[in-house]
Amino acid sequence: MKTTVLITRYGGLGDLIMILPTLQGLKRQYPKAKFVLRTYKDYVGYVDHLFDQTILDDNQYLKYPFESGWKEIGNATEFAETGQRVLHINLQGVIESRSDVHGVIAFRQEAGVTGKGVEVHLPLPFEVNRQNVTVVQLRDDKDGRGLTKNDLPQCLQQRDDVIWLDSLLTPKDYLRTIAQAQTFIGPDSSGLHLASALGVPEIVGLYSPEFPPAIRAYPNVKAFTLKYEFQKELSVMYAEKSATCPICTESAVEKREIYWMCPSCDAWFQHPMPVKKFEAQEEKGADGRSNGHNQSEADLEASARLASCFAHNWISRVRTEGPAKTLDIGCKYPYFAYTLQKLGMESYGIDGMDFDADQTPILSRYSEELGVPMLMVDFEKVTPWQILNNTDSKKRFDAISMVHVFEHMYDPYAALKTIHELLNPEGYFLIRVPSHEVPGMEWHMSERHYSIHPFYYSEQAMKTLMKTSGLFKIVETYPMGAGTRDYILKPV
């Protein structure tokens, strides 16, 4: 005798998804049966996209769609054709919370489906690429449960990577929109169910007190009943999902390692900033003290070469009375300043590393060793006046340099302002920094560097910084090896 399996469940889209494992189980148990699913007509379009045609033969689920509301469900004889038996699987009234996964296990048990397989996973009949976007559904399409924009924290309302889900979308677009999300936020239930079944990585749901998460829990959904808890969770999530660029004030949402990448000016920055240190732990000697004198011959030679080029190509252009006066900021072992001094200049170094009393002798020793006067202070904490007053001639500097130092500045605008005040208006300012668009940047991407570099710049980021500051213009820039770039700057 031929068998027709009639499945009745008038629930919404979530229910359709939840009975999918039941349909699959029944199909295995009754391989030759004909299947008919009774559900609301509103969901017919989704069934088309969701259900494997081998489970429900073409259009069979269209046969008895109900307009709305509850109808009597007891009578299955109308489905029987001559010589057929009707097996009615009535899932109406099955209490969904009877099992750990909302509905899925309960439906299978009610239908007498044996074997395992309670996972709900929906393969889509079209390709979707996951985007780094948040999809927000404000209103559940059927029963009016929903959210308002005010239920969401401000930081989320203002983001431009949020897609507001329009319930008037076609089934295909509805599925596609949810499937591409990195994060889904919505009220219980259809969108949440779809997001979960489609494997959206982060899902946050606001439930109603009538149907709390305890009844309608769904896998991988962070569920809240209280609005303030829901808001709090989202605030925390989104505080970690974006940061304001200190260079151009745009909002950054993408990260590379621990750096936010500004989509507007291209700066990379840490947020929150690391605790200020002058050296990474690895740069210190076994006794925990500064190890800056341990520069290799090659490092010293590179330092001397850069200083000579700067002197010949740029400092030589500055008209000065007497010898040119120079300052190397963040000099550590002051070999750069020493080279300029050998070329006849009045040169100074400044470094704040280990500037506490205990460590001062090390810096003093560097200073004595090379005969370069050094100011042992944190450059970001002193005034131009304090610096100038501690130099012999008290006049402004004709050249200032920061070699692998500018990326250590916590407030680059303040640093530029100080330098601008220190510099002869005709003078030059040299910066050598890691530049993330220059090949070899990987060398700067390690924990050791992260602990001391609040920023990484690129040429574009540097241009934005200089333009916004209104203090300097770039007169020359060129990429160097190992992911670095040089800039020659002039006061505006």
Task: Tell me which residues touch Zn ion (CB under 5 A).
Answer: 245, 247-248, 250, 262, 264-265, 267
Reduced to 3 states, what is the DSSP secondary structure of residue 156?
A: helix
Angle at 42 between CA 40 and CA 44, to 5 degrees: 80
The identity of residue 244, as a single letter, is T
Minimum CB distance to Zn ion smaller for 208 or for 264: 264
Q: How far is the CB of 262 from Zn ion (least distance, A)?
A: 3
Minimum CB distance to Zn ion smaller for 418 or for 458: 458
Q: How far is the CB of 299 from Zn ion (least distance, A)?
A: 32
- Cα-Cα-Cα-Cα dihedral of 47, 52, 57, 61, to 10°? -20
Q: How far is the CB of 250 from Zn ion (least distance, A)?
A: 5
Cα end-to-end distance, the chain, whole Å = 94
Question: What are the structure tokens assigned to 264, written together?
Answer: 């507007």
Residues in CB range of 16: below 8 A, 6 or more apart = 9, 39, 43, 46, 47, 50, 51
Q: How far is the CB of 436 from Zn ion (least distance, A)?
A: 13
Minimum CB distance to Zn ion smaller for 16 or for 262: 262
Q: How far is the CB of 306 from Zn ion (least distance, A)?
A: 28
Minimum CB distance to Zn ion smaller for 57 or for 250: 250
Count other Cβ atoms within 10 Å, centred on residue 65: 16
Question: What are the structure tokens assigned to 16, written together?
Answer: 């359709």
Minimum CB distance to Zn ion smaller for 56 or for 267: 267
- Our separate counts of H helices and E strands in the chain read 16, 21
Q: How far is the CB of 379 from Zn ion (least distance, A)?
A: 23
Minimum CB distance to Zn ion smaller for 259 or for 487: 259
Question: What are the structure tokens assigned to 423, written together?
Answer: 């510099």
State the maximum Cα–Cα separation within the chain, in Å, rounded to a whole number. 115
CA dist 335 and 299 (Å) reads 10
Residues in CB range of 479: below 8 A, 6 or more apart = 435, 438, 439, 485
Angle at 483 between CA 451 and CA 328, to 5 degrees: 70
Minimum CB distance to Zn ion smaller for 17 or for 262: 262
Q: How far is the CB of 233 from Zn ion (least distance, A)?
A: 28
| Omega of the bond leading into 384 within 30 degrees of 0 (cis) | no
Contact 466, 472 (CB under 8 A): yes
Q: Under the phi-then-psi rule, with left for phi > 0, alpha for psi from -120 to 50, and beta for the rest, what region is 236?
A: alpha
Minimum CB distance to Zn ion smaller for 308 or for 460: 460
Minimum CB distance to Zn ion smaller for 265 or for 471: 265
Q: How far is the CB of 417 from Zn ion (least distance, A)?
A: 19
CA dist 265 and 262 (Å) reads 6
Q: How far is the CB of 412 from Zn ion (least distance, A)?
A: 11
Question: What are the structure tokens assigned to 305, written together?
Answer: 């070469």
